[in-house]
Amino acid sequence: MNRICTLFKIKYPIIQGGMVWCSGWRLASAVSNAGGLGLLGAGSMHPETLREHIQKCKSATNKPFGVNVPLMYPDIDQLMQIIVEEKVPIIFTSAGNPKTWTSYLKSNGISVAHVVSSSKFASKCEEAGVDAIVAEGFEAGGHNGREETTTLCLIPAVRRVTTLPLLAAGGIGTGEAIMAAMALGADGVQIGTRFALSEESSAHLNFKQLALNLNEGDTKLLLKKLSPTRLINSKFSTLIEEAESRGASTEELRELLGRGRAKKGIFEGNLEEGELEIGQVSSLFRKIESVDEIMRDLIEGYHLIRQKIQDDRLFPPA
């Protein structure tokens, strides 16, 4: 039995990553109903908004779902209290130190996974006592590691330092990529970009349409001095890029970024002024699909490629 499926009590080892302005109760419940694990993205919610989404998610699915909490969240105590009160069974923490909250959450019966971008931080997760690790490579949408380690290099490196259940993230959007991630040592996958562009995602239609017309090279990892973020090339990203290439200070960049940019871009669909976060893998997709269609395609794609690879004519034995 797959360790991720056993840990989270789900049918397929496919996690829908928590995503600011995309993953509310509609997306999370649709993924959980389809046999994966849906995560509410608390990073863009006020604490009481999160409570509302948790309650709506509970009415929309009787399957397990979880919450993603970026640990730099300002009202984090309040957020964690709501998660405990509402008896959410699973939490995925990111962007911070896994030691801060893991034992508190586990003592409340919550399973904890933490997102890392290096094997060094994967070891810290083990010390912190998490139940699973998400290793997220450079290709991924959203905030990212500074070292630019690709998923292809990161997964085997993390597998070497830990025996914990491992989820691969970054650049995974097809059944073939799931197969590749499992071959590298992952027990399952976390997918963001493809679900961000689904029918059930709360991202603005302008954002989805733009992201579904990208080619390779149309996103870049910027804002390394603040928090490295993969952005679609746009008027706003060009401003940031120019500032960075003339050596702008952290303060200057912070001012340029201002507040609410991700909301403006992803949720309000302002393609010029907003921060447009999406992964490299977006260039493979051209239309808005329902979560059910995506899940079916992922599972069928996985089994087709698995059969094809088993054919020795494609790669003769030694």
Ligand X SMILES: Cc1cc2nc3c(=O)[nH]c(=O)nc-3n(C[C@H](O)[C@H](O)[C@H](O)COP(=O)(O)O)c2cc1C
Question: Judged by CB, which is closer to ligand X: 32, or 193?
Answer: 193
Q: Do the Cβ atoms of 25 and 58 come closer than 8 Å?
A: no
Counted residue by residue, the chain has a size of: 318
The vertex-37 CA angle with 33 and 40, nearest 5°, equals 100
Other CB atoms within a 10 A radius of the CB of residue 318 amount to 2
Candidate list 57, 172, 186, 298; residue touching ligand X; CB under 6 A: 172
Dist. CA 206–CA 211, nearest whole Å:
9
Candidate list 29, 94, 118, 219; residue touching ligand X; CB under 6 A: 94
Q: Does 132 bind ligand X (CB under 6 A)?
A: no
96 to 39, 76, 106, 153, 228: CA distances (angstroms): 18, 12, 17, 22, 14
Q: Do the Cβ atoms of 231 and 261 come closer than 8 Å?
A: no
Q: Does 188 bind ligand X (CB under 6 A)?
A: no
Q: CB of residue 131 vs ligand X: minimum separation in angstroms? A: 16
With residue 219 as reference, give the H or E element that holds it: strand 219-222
Candidate list 131, 136, 187, 275; residue touching ligand X; CB under 6 A: 136
Question: Taking CB positions, which residue lies at the least distance from ligand X?
Answer: 192
Interface residues for ligand X in 56-75 (CB under 6 A)? 68, 70
Q: Does 169 bind ligand X (CB under 6 A)?
A: yes
Q: Does 34 bind ligand X (CB under 6 A)?
A: no
Interface residues for ligand X in 235-294 (CB under 6 A)? 266, 277-279, 281
Residues that bind ligand X in the complex, under the rule CB under 6 A: 17-20, 22, 41, 43, 68, 70, 94, 115, 136, 139-142, 169-172, 190-193, 196, 266, 277-279, 281
